[in-house]
């Protein structure tokens, strides 16, 4: 007998959302039939839900207010000192994802009780492909992140502020000392079985959805060809036979034939589930440089040795808002910058999930879960995806909307810095002027910056 327990918050808090094929007539009063189990809630405002008591005037309020809807910064508590809110993952076709998973080498910290081996195929769930120890291990990491065995987890890092080096959450210790860990361990197989049942949502099945699909066969054929020539080598789980390079002219010819088959989309994950460096992807780098899964950090035990051994990407170029003609050049140098990779996202049900990119930053947010509302968001995001000149440029930089300060309670900061606190027991940093780029402050790692009384 295992008593009922709460791990912190439920997975459904972030993953249940309006059903695209059965949208509610009133989004504020949906019925059960109007909800989808694991689509990822693109309408969630994380700050208002989980930090509703944060007061105006503080920097943290400004940071949360700028966060795109439908995103969650899963490395905010065990911080990697990067403001990197991510689109909440939908979960579809897990069995197909497992079928195409690449074999990776696991490190010395194996979840032996889950029957894991030294080398095994592992699907990549997180945006950067960091949780690379198989589906059971990936699921257990989520439960730890939302509160399971917090008595131990909170001793491995300084929540929210960092300032002190992280230590790995040791899975062997958790298995030995936490009945809640073992209880969850016994049930993750059921969760995986549930995930394998989840199917895509099709626009044609939604009320009025067929009106958004062209009836012109020539247009549809040209769209399939464009996909085959430019997208399918990465965005398809159905790939050419071994020995035929998917990116070669012969590979593209194979895709041009495959996309015309009536069963091409059936059980197609629309991703090859591979990691690619930022030099190839060329989108916002924040999540790709997360460090929590690196050796010696909090999620060390939940990432493979293959992931830890990835070589950093070559020199990167970033948009320069002060002088667009002179892009900022950056070369990752050491383990503190993270590996710099993204896994290929699935395009399943993409009509229902705009805005796009790993942080929901591309395209307008309509806040409307109706079919028309989803398609308005999809059309805007897709046009900007395929026409980069129409993207926001410097206006996409998140900025403080008001003057603010950053106040830290002295009991949450290391002893040497407590002498700088005021009479109320706070270390105050600021004034931070209105219009300051939020990530200029949010991405600082205070543990690597020397702070003295003189402000040096």
233 in Cβ contact with 255 (< 8 Å) = yes
In this prediction, residue 453 carries a pLDDT of: 38
In this prediction, residue 50 carries a pLDDT of: 87
In this prediction, residue 438 carries a pLDDT of: 93
Distance CA 456, CA 450 (A): 7
21 in Cβ contact with 201 (< 8 Å) = yes
**How many residues are there in the chain?**
456
Which two tokens mark 13? 């808090």
pTM of the model as a whole: 0.88
* For the chain, counts of helices (H) and of strands (E): 14, 12
Q: What is the pLDDT of residues 426-439, one digit of tens each?
A: 777 779 999 999 99
In this prediction, residue 451 carries a pLDDT of: 44
Distance CA 157, CA 88 (A): 24
Omega within 30 of 0 (cis) for the link into 368: no
406 in Cβ contact with 371 (< 8 Å) = no
In this prediction, residue 284 carries a pLDDT of: 85
In this prediction, residue 71 carries a pLDDT of: 95
> What does the longest C-alpha to C-alpha distance in the chain come to?
73
Distance CA 60, CA 58 (A): 5
Cα-atom radius of gyration of the chain, to the nearest Å?
23
Query: Considering only CA atoms, which of 31, 370, 40 is closest in space to residue 206?
Result: 370
pLDDT tens for the chain, residues 1 to 456: 456 666 667 888 899 999 999 999 999 999 999 999 989 999 999 999 988 889 899 999 999 999 999 999 999 999 998 999 999 989 999 999 999 999 998 876 655 555 566 788 889 888 999 878 888 888 899 999 888 899 999 999 988 888 788 999 999 999 999 988 988 888 888 999 999 999 999 999 999 999 999 999 999 999 999 999 999 999 999 999 999 999 999 999 999 999 999 999 999 999 999 999 999 998 888 889 998 999 999 999 999 999 998 988 988 988 887 888 999 898 886 655 678 999 999 999 999 999 999 999 999 999 999 999 999 999 999 999 999 888 865 567 899 999 998 877 766 666 666 777 777 767 777 799 999 999 988 988 766 654 433 343
In this prediction, residue 105 carries a pLDDT of: 87
Exposure string of 61-73, with b = 16+ CB inside 10 Å and e = fewer, is: bbbbbbbbbbbbb
In this prediction, residue 136 carries a pLDDT of: 87
Query: Considering only CA atoms, which of 174, 160, 198 is closest in space to residue 36?
Result: 198
């Amino acid at each position: 007998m295992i008593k009922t327990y709460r791990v912190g918050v439920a997975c459904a808090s972030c993953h249940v959302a309006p059903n695209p094929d059965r949208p509610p007539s009133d989004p504020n009063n949906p019925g059960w039939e109007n909800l989808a189990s694991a689509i990822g809630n693109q309408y969630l405002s994380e700050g208002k839900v989980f930090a509703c008591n944060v007061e105006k005037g503080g920097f943290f309020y400004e940071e949360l207010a700028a966060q795109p809807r439908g995103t969650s910064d899963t490395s905010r508590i065990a911080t990697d000192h990067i403001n990197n809110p991510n689109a909440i993952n939908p979960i579809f076709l897990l069995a197909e994802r497992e079928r195409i998973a690449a074999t990776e080498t696991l490190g010395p910290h194996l979840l032996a009780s889950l029957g894991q081996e030294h080398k095994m195929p592992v699907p990549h769930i997180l945006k950067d492909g960091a949780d690379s120890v198989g589906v059971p291990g990936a699921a257990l990491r989520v439960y730890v992140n939302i509160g399971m065995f917090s008595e131990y987890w909170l001793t491995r890092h300084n929540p929210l502020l960092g300032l002190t080096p992280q230590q790995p959450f040791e899975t062997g210790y958790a298995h030995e000392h936490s009945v809640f860990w073992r209880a969850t361990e016994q049930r993750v197989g059921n969760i995986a079985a549930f995930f394998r049942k989840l199917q895509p949502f099709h626009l044609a099945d939604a009320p009025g959805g067929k009106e958004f699909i062209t009836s012109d066969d020539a247009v549809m054929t040209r769209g399939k060809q464009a996909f085959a020539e430019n997208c399918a080598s990465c965005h398809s789980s159905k790939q050419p036979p071994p020995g035929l390079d998917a990116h070669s002219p012969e590979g593209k010819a194979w895709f041009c034939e495959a996309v015309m088959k009536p069963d091409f989309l059936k059980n197609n994950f629309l991703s090859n589930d591979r990691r690619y460096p930022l030099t190839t992807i060329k989108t916002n780098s924040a999540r790709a440089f997360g460090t929590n899964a690196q050796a010696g950090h909090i999620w060390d035990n939940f990432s493979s040795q293959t992931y830890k051994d990835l070589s950093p990407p070559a020199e990167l170029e970033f948009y320069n808002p002060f002088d667009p003609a002179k892009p900022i050049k950056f070369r990752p140098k050491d383990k503190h910058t993270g590996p710099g990779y993204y896994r290929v996202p699935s395009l399943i049900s993409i009509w229902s999930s705009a805005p796009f990119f790993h942080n929901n930053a591309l395209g307008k947010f309509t806040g409307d879960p109706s079919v028309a509302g989803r398609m308005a968001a999809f059309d805007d995001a897709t046009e900007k995806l395929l026409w980069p000149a129409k993207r926001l440029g410097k206006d996409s930089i998140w900025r403080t909307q008001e003057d603010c300060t950053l106040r830290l309670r002295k009991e949450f900061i290391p002893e040497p810095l407590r002498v700088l606190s005021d009479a109320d027991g706070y270390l105050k940093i600021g004034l931070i002027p209105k219009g300051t780029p939020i990530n200029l402050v949010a991405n600082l790692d205070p543990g690597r910056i020397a702070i003295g009384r003189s402000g040096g």
